Each structure stands twice: as structure tokens, then as C-alpha cells.
């Protein structure tokens, strides 16, 4: 059985490093107000042909790669979905805004003392990525996964549902649309096992050295690749719809995954197998088609970059930087950062920093091992196989590492020479300078904000929801300014949505974003609502027009 194709990805990275670097001022030629489309796979490392792994064919992603740019050093801020999606939506590190634990809004059955379902409460100036697009006149749709660690603001999307699509927008309106592909999610390894594989039953698949090379393991890894085949077909369907609508050459297409791979010792950890994601961006003018780009990119950069490509200036509060578009940063990123905290009912605290080659991990609980027993993950046959072999003393040294009773306080890995991050160099004098550099960089990063993962979670909840009760956004108030209605809320950071309706018209589910005073004509009704992220939405108010 062949080893995991990290050697292929390493070769791609070497080629990217050897290639001439693109000038920061070089930009794609974009139409005015281009559409922005995010195609988001789940739980997927760079194990597709475009990134060097030819185990299965992915013709639609191959096409995107041939017509777009492959970004080879892209990293989530967490090895699991909800904290990573919080970073994507806000442009801020999840442990800065209290969104670091997996997960906050659904904790039933975890049995952790003092823990209730709650929503992260970002600072009042924070708005979701999609709202900036709406305020600029874009139609925004999300189909359909949210999972931001907080309820979406009522003003965030025109439509966030299983039927959401750019096709529901107004004539000639630009769009920001997101489609999520669940088929590659961890759970689909055991759920899809009930269905025939999309690949040959005897397909030779790569097995990383930290997993057992047994028939059970091979079956699960074949399922991973089978799910990739299905995901590629789903991507192809969206691309076909884009072409049918004549929108391909007016749309910037991002394809990426929400964090690294779904297998044991990948998902939830801060090794590259849990953080590194494949990303392809196809620009309307096929800018740099077929090229590799090895710049370091973090999930906190996505919001700024999408806005920048649409010609919208990103907000100053974000932790990220635009790596393309009108507002592209003039400086290259030197490091990416990541955090791991609670997973279901199991707590750990790990922080990481990585440059273009070396990874530094700081383990705040070295007294406990890396492996955390999670009922959800143990539904996976390969996980059951690992535990069976562990109990029988049948694991290799590489496979046993994950099950150590404790872990070092610091770890340092050369990800080029050791892509599976199995050899800790933290105590090797030959790497002392790199250890000091990355240790200092982690300290610098953490000194820049109040890391919410460093406090007990019940204390965090009580801090953002005093008395463990969710705050309620103050209802909008209305006043007259000349011939227009001015709306406001006493809650700092409240987003105000409104609907303008006829006398007998029923209000709908989509709230328009209030940005300026409104004209309320005779016979019309104005309904408004306010919502700060992390708070309960306010009650609605209704106004009838006042005759002049």
C-alpha cells in the first residue's frame, strides 16, 4: 500500500518556491463589481490531482486548476469546522472573539459542568463578511451550512437555506454566494459506507504512517477518495450552472476546504494534516492560469481578500490581510497562527505558529496526551481499528505517538523534511534559533489580544452572557429627520434590518440592511428589527407613514 502522497505535495511546494514570485502589484483584470463565489468542501487535505495526489480523478477541479491559481500554503485557524468558520465570517481569530471551542451553540450531551449552549459575542464593531457585500449592493446567498459559533445576524444574508442560489437575485445584481459540500465530511466515512464506493473496491490508496495499513483502514481511506469523486461532481454541477447563466467570466471562483483531513490524527489537531487546505482561485481573465502560488495564507485573510476583489475596502479591525484585489496588502505574510481548545466534552489548549517551513506548537497541558476520546469520532471504523491495535500493543512507533500519556510542552517540526510531523526538533540544538524565533512569534501573536481560550469556559460564558442569560438587542427606535425616518438601537454594534411593505403585505424572511435614513411614503409600513451578533434579536417595531 502506497504512503500518503505528501511527497507529491512537497514536490509542488518545491516547484512553487523555485518559480518566479508574482509582484504584489500584479493584479487580475476584473469587471466592475465582479461576482464572488465560494465553493467549500469539508474536512479535506490537499489530496487531489491538482496538488499532486493522483489516486482518483477530479476533472472539474482539474479544470479549475488549469484555468486558475493553485495556492499551496493555505491554513485554517483550527483543525475543526465551527471555529474555522467563525474566522472566515469575521476575519478574526476565533480565540480572540470567544469562538474557539467546538462547538458553542450545541453542547447537549457533553456533560461539562457549568456549560450551557451559548453564542460567541464578537466586539460590537464586527459584521459578517456577507453583510459588507449586501451594503455594497450585492446579493448574498449561502447554501446552506452556517456553523459560525453564533446565530447569523438577521442582516447577514439575502438567503441562507438549502434553496439559496445566486439565481434568486435581482436583474444584473452582482452576488456573493457560498455553496458547501458536506459529502467529504468526516461523518460521511461511516454514513456512505452503506452505499457502493465510487472507486474500485481494490483501489490502491495512500495510508499515512500514523494510521494502520489494514483492510479496515484501507476501506475507510477508499471511502475518503470515493467522497472526493462525488464532491468533484457536485462542484461540476455548480460550474455548469454558472456557465449556463453566462457568468463564468464575471465571477471570481474560490474552491477550498474548511480545514484539513477527516481521518484520525488529522481533524481537530494543529498538525498540517488538520490545518492545511487546498485552494484554487479562478479569476475571470484566467490570470496566472495553471500557476502555483506558495505565499502563506490564513483563513483570517479570506474576508479581506473577497471584499478587496469586489473593490470594497476591508474593515480595519480584521486580523487578516487581502492577498489579492484592489486593497491587496503590500507586505507578504510571514507566519500563520492556529489554536485548539475544547472538542465536544474534552478540553485541551494548544497554540501554533508556522512559517513557510517550520511549525511550532505550545502545549498548555503537557500532562495529558494528544488523543482525546470522542464518541463522535469513534463511529469511524479506522478509529476503532486504531483503538483495537493500541489495546493489543499492535501499533508501530509512529502510530503510538498519538496515544502517549503526555506530550512535550513545546514541539518544533520541519514540515518539508517531516511532512507528517513525527520528529520533534524542539530539543535539538541545531534548531535552537528557529525554536527561539517561532516561540517569540507566538508570544507576539498572543500578546496582541485577550485569548479567550485561557479562561475556564463557564467564566467566559458568564462574561459575555452575564448571569448565564443571553443579552437581548434593544429594539430599534425611529425618529424623523426632514422627510425621512432614522432608525437606531441603544445596543452598541446592533445591525438593523427593515422591510418596506404595502398596507396588507405580509413581512418575509429577508431583512434589508439599514444604512441610511429611509423615505416612508403614505400608505406604506416600515417594519424594523435589531440584532447584535451573539445577542438575541430584538422584537420588531412597525411604523405607518405619517402624511406630510
DSSP string, 138-190: -EEEEES----SSPPPTTS-SEESTT--GGGS-TT--EEEEEEEGGGSTTHHH
Question: Strands 541-544 and 525-531, how do they pair?
Answer: antiparallel
**Residue 81 known to be catalytic:** yes
Helix extents (H) in 272-404: 272-275, 302-309, 381-391, 397-400
Q: Is 431 helix (H, G, I), strand (E, B) or coil?
A: helix
To which H or E segment does residue 463 belong?
Answer: helix 457-464
Burial class (CB in 10 A: 0-12, 13-18, 19+), 334: exposed
Task: Find where cell 512537497 sits.
Answer: 10
User: Taking CA 519 as the corner, what is the angle to CA 514 and CA 523, rounded to the nearest 5 degrees?
Assistant: 115
Cell of 443: 508570544
Identified catalytic residue from 8, 15, 17, 81 = 81
Which of 317, 286, 319 minimizes the C-alpha distance to 88? 319
Cell of 136: 455594497
Which of 38, 7, 40 minimizes the C-alpha distance to 277? 40
Helix extents (H) in 212-341: 215-244, 272-275, 302-309
Dist CA 404 CA 417 (whole Å): 23
Which of 365, 321, 360 minimizes the C-alpha distance to 347? 365
Please enumerate in sequence order all residues whose Cβ is within 8 A of that of 60, keeping only pairs 6 or more positions apart, or say none: 232, 233, 235, 236, 239
Helix extents (H) in 347-431: 381-391, 397-400
Dist CA 116 CA 391 (whole Å): 35
Dist CA 463 CA 468 (whole Å): 8
Q: Is 298 helix (H, G, I), strand (E, B) or coil?
A: strand
DSSP string, 308-331: HHTTPPPPTT-S---SSSTT--SS
Dist CA 288 CA 417 (whole Å): 29
DSSP string, 2-18: PBPTHHHHHHHHHHHHH
The residues pairing with 176 across neighbouring beta strands, listed in sequence order, are: 36, 140
Question: Strands 139-143 and 175-181, how do they pair?
Answer: parallel
Question: Strands 35-41 and 336-340, how do they pair?
Answer: unpaired
Catalytic positions are 81
Amino acid at each position: 500500500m502506497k504512503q500518503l502522497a505528501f511527497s507529491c505535495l512537497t514536490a509542488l511546494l518545491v516547484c512553487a518556491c523555485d518559480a518566479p514570485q508574482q509582484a504584489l502589484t500584479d493584479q487580475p483584470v476584473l469587471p466592475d463589481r465582479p461576482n464572488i463565489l465560494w465553493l467549500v468542501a469539508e474536512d479535506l487535505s490537499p489530496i487531489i490531482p491538482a496538488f499532486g495526489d493522483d489516486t482518483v480523478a477530479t476533472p472539474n477541479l482539474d479544470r479549475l486548476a488549469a484555468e486558475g491559481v493553485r495556492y499551496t500554503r493555505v491554513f485554517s485557524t483550527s483543525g475543526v469546522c465551527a471555529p474555522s468558520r467563525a474566522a472566515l465570517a469575521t476575519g478574526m481569530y476565533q480565540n480572540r472573539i470567544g469562538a474557539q471551542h467546538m462547538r458553542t451553540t450545541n453542547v447537549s450531551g457533553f456533560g461539562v459542568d457549568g456549560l450551557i449552549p451559548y453564542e460567541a459575542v464578537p466586539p460590537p464593531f464586527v459584521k459578517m463578511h456577507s453583510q459588507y457585500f449586501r451594503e455594497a449592493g450585492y446579493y448574498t446567498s449561502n447554501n446552506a451550512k452556517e456553523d459560525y459559533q453564533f446565530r447569523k445576524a438577521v442582516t447577514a444574508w439575502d438567503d441562507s437555506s438549502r434553496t439559496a442560489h445566486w439565481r434568486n437575485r435581482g436583474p444584473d445584481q452582482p452576488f456573493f454566494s457560498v455553496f458547501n459540500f458536506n459529502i467529504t465530511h468526516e461523518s460521511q466515512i461511516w454514513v456512505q459506507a452503506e452505499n457502493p464506493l465510487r472507486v474500485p473496491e481494490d483501489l490502491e490508496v495512500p495510508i499515512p504512517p500514523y494510521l494502520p495499513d489494514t483492510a479496515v483502514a484501507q476501506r475507510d481511506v477508499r471511502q475518503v477518495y470515493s467522497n472526493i469523486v462525488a464532491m468533484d461532481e457536485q462542484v461540476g454541477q455548480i460550474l455548469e450552472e454558472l456557465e449556463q447563466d453566462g457568468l463564468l467570466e464575471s465571477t471570481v471562483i474560490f474552491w477550498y476546504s474548511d480545514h484539513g483531513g477527516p481521518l484520525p490524527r488529522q481533524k481537530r489537531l494543529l498538525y498540517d494534516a488538520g490545518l492545511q487546505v487546498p485552494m484554487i482561485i479562478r479569476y475571470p481573465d484566467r490570470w496566472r492560469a495553471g500557476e502555483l502560488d506558495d505565499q502563506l495564507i490564513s483563513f483570517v485573510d479570506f474576508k479581506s481578500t473577497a471584499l478587496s476583489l469586489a473593490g470594497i475596502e476591508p474593515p480595519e479591525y480584521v486580523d487578516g490581510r487581502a492577498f489579492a484585489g484592489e486593497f491587496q496588502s503590500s507586505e507578504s505574510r510571514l507566519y500563520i497562527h492556529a489554536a485548539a481548545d475544547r472538542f465536544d466534552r474534552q478540553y485541551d489548549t494548544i497554540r501554533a505558529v508556522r512559517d513557510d517551513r517550520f511549525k511550532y506548537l505550545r502545549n498548555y497541558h503537557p500532562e495529558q496526551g494528544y488523543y482525546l476520546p470522542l464518541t463522535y469520532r469513534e463511529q469511524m471504523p479506522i478509529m476503532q481499528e486504531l483503538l483495537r491495535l493500541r489495546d493489543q500493543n499492535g501499533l508501530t512507533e509512529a502510530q503510538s505517538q498519538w496515544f502517549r500519556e503526555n506530550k512535550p510542552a513545546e514541539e518544533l517540526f520541519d514540515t518539508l523534511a517531516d511532512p507528517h510531523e513525527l520528529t520533534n526538533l524542539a530539543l535539538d540544538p541545531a534548531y535552537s534559533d528557529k525554536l527561539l524565533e517561532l516561540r517569540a512569534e507566538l508570544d507576539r501573536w498572543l500578546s496582541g489580544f485577550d485569548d479567550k481560550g485561557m479562561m475556564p469556559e463557564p467564566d467566559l460564558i458568564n462574561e459575555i452572557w452575564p448571569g448565564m442569560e443571553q443579552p437581548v438587542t434593544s429594539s430599534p427606535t425611529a425618529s424623523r429627520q426632514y422627510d425621512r425616518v432614522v432608525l437606531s438601537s441603544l445596543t452598541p454594534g446592533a445591525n438593523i434590518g427593515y422591510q418596506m411593505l404595502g398596507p396588507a403585505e405580509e413581512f418575509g424572511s429577508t431583512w434589508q440592511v439599514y444604512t441610511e435614513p429611509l423615505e416612508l411614503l403614505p400608505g406604506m409600513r416600515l417594519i424594523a428589527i435589531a440584532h447584535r451578533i451573539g445577542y438575541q434579536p430584538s422584537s420588531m417595531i412597525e411604523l405607518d407613514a405619517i402624511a406630510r
